[in-house]
Amino acid sequence: AVYIAIGIKPNGHKEVIDYRIAPSENVENWTEMLQDMKSRGLELFLSDGVVGMKEAICQSYPKAHFQRCLVHVMCNISAKMRVDDRQKALDEFKQIHTQSNKEMAVQVLHEFYQNW
């Protein structure tokens, strides 16, 4: 398989910034890739929680905070909801990320927890 890291420039242009050919997805492959990108100055990245990525990030960027992308969080929420409740729950979840400050976002998050 080919594992690809895509960078997005400030102007929105996307480019492949690294890739690896490996028989399977694992911590070692991602760590090698992250170390290479780190040596070239990478400071910010977003991941979908692929196998081994969280551990590789912790090894390469020990002070980093790992957060799954929102699309995958919403997929996980949907998988645990009744079909009839999904849209309402996801609409409420999306409100967390539209708040103008952290305090309001935390308040909406706690309301989401209480409701669901």
| Length reported for the chain | 116
| Domain extents in the chain | 2-60, 70-115
- What pTM was computed for the model? 0.57
- pLDDT for position 44: 72
Q: What is the mean pLDDT of the chain?
A: 87
Using the predicted structure, report yes or no on whether residue 4 has a pLDDT greater than 70: yes
The full 3-state SS of 3-23, as one line of letters, equals EEEEEECCCCCEEEEEEEECC
